[in-house]
């Protein structure tokens, strides 16, 4: 006997699970939003609009602004919701390669009081300053000994340049005072380096 005309029966462990499945299939708002949440801009037409803006932003890496003054008869909150919900729709239904999902984590949406809504790239780890090589605190005696050895060796006439230091203001002051007593040198002491030149 053929079962072609018999309906397929799907059972769920409980009513709560069944309700969630129905919500997902017929919802018109982002996943996780409550039934009471306002989602007028969770639609394809708005998603196409924000897609145009995000594509331009992705191409030139420049921030975008939506000034309140350009949106007649719209409240600041409405403009924010338009951007936010349109992007949600774009991510959920029009993002097969995950491009706009990735941008969602890279771009910050902000409300600038009295001005408008802005989109700008967040600071990335790759954009942060690189760490500097430095002489550890435990090696203070070594660089000080290098200065003493240089000053006590008359055969050394080339300039002495010690780099990668981390000197506190007190250490800079103290080293400067110590070297100031010598009339046979010219020097520069900074928080990260010491330079000494012997003069006749």
Among 15-19, 43-47, 164-168, 172-176, which is the least confidently predicted range?
A: 15-19
Q: What is the pLDDT of residue 77?
A: 92
Q: How confident is the model at residue 181 (pLDDT cuts 50, 70, 90)?
A: confident
For 42, 103, 135, 159, the CA distances from 31, given in Å and listed in that order, are: 11, 18, 53, 68
Q: What is the pLDDT of residue 191?
A: 87
Would you say residue 127 has pLDDT above 90?
no
Question: Which is more confidently placed, 15 or 114?
Answer: 114
Would the pTM of this model clear 0.85, i.e. be above it?
A: no
Q: How confident is the model at residue 125 (pLDDT cuts 50, 70, 90)?
A: low
Q: What is the pLDDT of residue 95?
A: 94
For the segment 150-160, what is each residue's pLDDT rounded down to a tens digit? 999 989 989 99
> What are the DSSP calls for 17-84, one per residue?
HHHHHHHHHH--S-TT--TTS--TT-SHHHHHHHHHHHHHHHHH---EEEEGGGSTT--HHHHHHHHH
Pairwise CA distance, residues 19 & 37, whole Å:
17
State both tokens at 111.
């409300």
Would you say residue 40 has pLDDT above 70?
yes
Question: Which is more confidently placed, 182 or 37?
Answer: 182
Among 14-18, 39-43, 151-155, which is the least confidently predicted range?
A: 14-18
């Amino acid at each position: 006997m053929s079962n072609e005309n018999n309906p397929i029966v799907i059972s769920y462990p409980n009513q709560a699970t069944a309700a969630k499945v129905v919500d997902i299939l017929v919802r018109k708002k982002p996943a996780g939003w409550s039934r009471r949440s306002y989602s007028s801009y969770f639609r394809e037409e708005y998603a196409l609009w924000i897609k145009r803006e995000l594509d331009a932003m992705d191409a030139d890496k420049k921030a975008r602004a939506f000034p309140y003054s350009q949106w007649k008869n719209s409240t600041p909150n409405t403009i924010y919701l338009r951007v936010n919900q349109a992007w949600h729709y774009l991510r959920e239904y029009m993002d097969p390669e995950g491009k706009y999902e990735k941008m969602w984590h890279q771009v910050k949406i902000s409300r600038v009081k009295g001005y408008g809504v802005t989109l700008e790239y967040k600071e990335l780890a790759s954009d942060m300053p690189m760490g500097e090589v430095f002489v550890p605190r435990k090696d203070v005696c070594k660089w000080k000994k290098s200065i003493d050895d240089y000053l006590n060796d008359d055969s050394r006439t080339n300039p002495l340049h010690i780099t990668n230091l981390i000197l506190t203001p007190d250490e800079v002051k103290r080293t400067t005072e110590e070297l100031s007593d010598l009339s046979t040198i010219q020097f520069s002491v900074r928080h990260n380096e010491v330079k000494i030149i012997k003069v006749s």
